[in-house]
Chains A and B, each alone.
Chain A
Amino acid sequence: MNEIIKPSAILLIITAVAAMLLGVVSETTKEAIAAQSAKTEQAAMEAVLPGEGLEFETLLDTANGDAPDGTISKVSKATANGELFGYVITTNPSGFSGAVVTMVGIDAEGVITGLRVLSHAETPGLGALATDPSFYEQFAGKSGKVAVTKDGGEIQAITSATITSRAVSSGATEALDWIAANGGAN
């Protein structure tokens, strides 16, 4: 009997101590982690929709339990001095391997002000180049429907990564469509 109880009791003590330790570390780092992800998001929003004294209002956020709209996971409306300035929309189009999380900034006229790929699992050296300025800077100034040159659009696709380039383009188009459908832009 002792042969069963003793090892089990010791294992129980080890796991209990480990759980307690993890609880303490989780509590102490929780705020710093939340602050980091808020900072990253804030920096990305400022990069895609540059402007002075913008106030953001969240219209849709899957993190708060809202249902996604297509692949759109987050929509924020930006106002400056009470007037509509633009929108920041996060879309999750499917790339070569998994979702390519793309944040698009669109001004009140429905023109893209900036675009960033926030996270992805694309091939290093190929699709992963979507985070390179030479690719994402092409999107600024585009409106209506965005597509790569192969599909008759104006976006120069990344060499050997057409699928990723198409995904980002479709994310941009989806964001523009959302604004058209929701009557945000004039």
Chain B
Amino acid sequence: MGNPIKIIKNGIIDENPTFVQVIGMCPTLAVTSSAINGIGMGLSTAAVLICSNIFISLLRKVIPDKVRIPSFIVVIATFVTIIQFMLQAYLPALNDSLGLYIPLIVVNCIILGRAEGFASKNSPLDSAFDGIGNGLGFTIALAAIGLVREFIGSGTLFSYPVMPEAFPHTLLFVMAPGAFFTLGCMMALLNHLKNKKKSA
């Protein structure tokens, strides 16, 4: 059994799914036009990831190697559908803004990647911590990108105007190219900090 704090920290920092593993790019680029959308997408993905990691880990000795991918997909798709029903029923506002992207969680490679790479080889408890770590890492990354894009693109933070009216809205940043620019700059900055730490 691994150290839970180490597993969680590994997911958030050392192997951050967005900035280090660079997986799950589709939702990262598509839904981060505002901070709140990024957090919503991150947390729904985290919820699915934790549930699917635990179940896949529990079933890891039962599932034969040959049918493991279809089995994983069925488990993941089931949780995604359950979350979608729940959002529709109890959080319709969030469901409206994430809408199309919820079903896409099924094919988010973070979830299948962690199922294949971690949960199918580790205990349920460790897998749960891995889900929390990677889920939070993804959420933080999406929220950070969303904050930058929302601030530059609309002059707001969490939909509250923070800049004077005269602040120019760089609409490019709430559209697709802005996602690439923001992600690229953030990745460069993080790598720069990492290299500096290493050479120091």
Q: A14-B75, A124-B33, A124-B174 are in contact. Are A29 and B67 (CB under 8 A)?
A: no
B171→A7 contact, CB < 8 A: no
Residue ID in chain A nearest B64 by CB atoms: A7
How many A-B Cβ pairs are below 8 Å?
Answer: 64
Q: A14-B71, A36-B92 are in contact. Are A126 and B171 (CB under 8 A)?
A: yes
Residue ID in chain B nearest A3 by CB atoms: B66
Which residues of chain A have C-beta atoms less than 8 A from B159's C-beta? none
Distance from A56 Cβ to chain B, minimum over Cβ atoms (Å): 21
B64→A6 contact, CB < 8 A: yes
Identify the stretch in A17-25, A69-77, A143-151 within 8 Å (CB) of chain B at 4 or more residues: A17-25
Most buried by B among A29, A126, A160: A29
Q: Is B89 an interface residue (CB 8 A)?
A: yes
Q: Mark A1-29, 1 if CB is under 8 A from B, else 0.
A: 00100111011001100100110011001
Categorize the interface residue count of chain A: 20 to 34
Which listed residue, A10, A18, A125, touches B62 by the CB 8 Å rule?
A10
Q: A8-B67, A14-B74 are in contact. Are A125 and B154 (CB under 8 A)?
A: yes
Enumerate B138-178 residues with CB–CB distance to A below 8 Å: 153-154, 169, 171, 174-175
Enumerate B74-119 residues with CB–CB distance to A below 8 Å: 74-75, 77-78, 81-82, 85-86, 88-90, 92, 96
A18→B74 contact, CB < 8 A: yes
Q: Is B63 an interface residue (CB 8 A)?
A: yes
Distance from A122 Cβ to chain B, minimum over Cβ atoms (Å): 12
Which residues of chain B have C-beta atoms less than 8 A from A40's C-beta? 92
Which residues of chain B have C-beta atoms less than 8 A from A8's C-beta? 67
CA distance A125 to B59 in the complex (A): 45
Number of interface residues of B (CB under 8 A): 29
Q: Is A138 an interface residue (CB 8 A)?
A: no
Q: Is A33 an interface residue (CB 8 A)?
A: yes
Which listed residue, B64, B81, B88, B174, touches A33 by the CB 8 Å rule?
B88
Residue ID in chain B nearest A160 by CB atoms: B171
Distance from A161 Cβ to chain B, minimum over Cβ atoms (Å): 10
Which listed residue, B67, B74, B82, B171, touches A125 by the CB 8 Å rule?
B171
Most buried by B among A10, A21, A40, A126: A10
Distance from B41 Cβ to chain A, minimum over Cβ atoms (Å): 14
CA distance A22 to B174 in the complex (A): 36
Which listed residue, B67, B96, B153, touches A10 by the CB 8 Å rule?
B67
Distance from B168 Cβ to chain A, minimum over Cβ atoms (Å): 12
Which residues of chain A have C-beta atoms less than 8 A from B77's C-beta? 18
A36→B67 contact, CB < 8 A: no
Distance from A57 Cβ to chain B, minimum over Cβ atoms (Å): 26
Which residues of chain A have C-beta atoms less than 8 A from B85's C-beta? 25-26, 29, 33
Which residues of chain A have C-beta atoms less than 8 A from B92's C-beta? 36-37, 40
Q: A123-B175, A125-B175 are in contact. Are A15 and B74 (CB under 8 A)?
A: yes
Which residues of chain A have a CB within 8 Å of any CB of chain B?
A: 3, 6-8, 10-11, 14-15, 18, 21-22, 25-26, 29, 32-33, 36-37, 40, 119, 123-126, 160
A sample of 30 inter-chain contacts (CB < 8 A) reads A7-B66, A8-B67, A10-B63, A10-B64, A10-B71, A11-B74, A14-B59, A14-B63, A15-B74, A18-B74, A18-B77, A18-B78, A22-B82, A25-B81, A25-B85, A25-B86, A26-B85, A29-B88, A29-B89, A32-B89, A36-B89, A40-B92, A123-B175, A124-B34, A124-B174, A124-B175, A125-B153, A125-B154, A125-B174, A126-B171
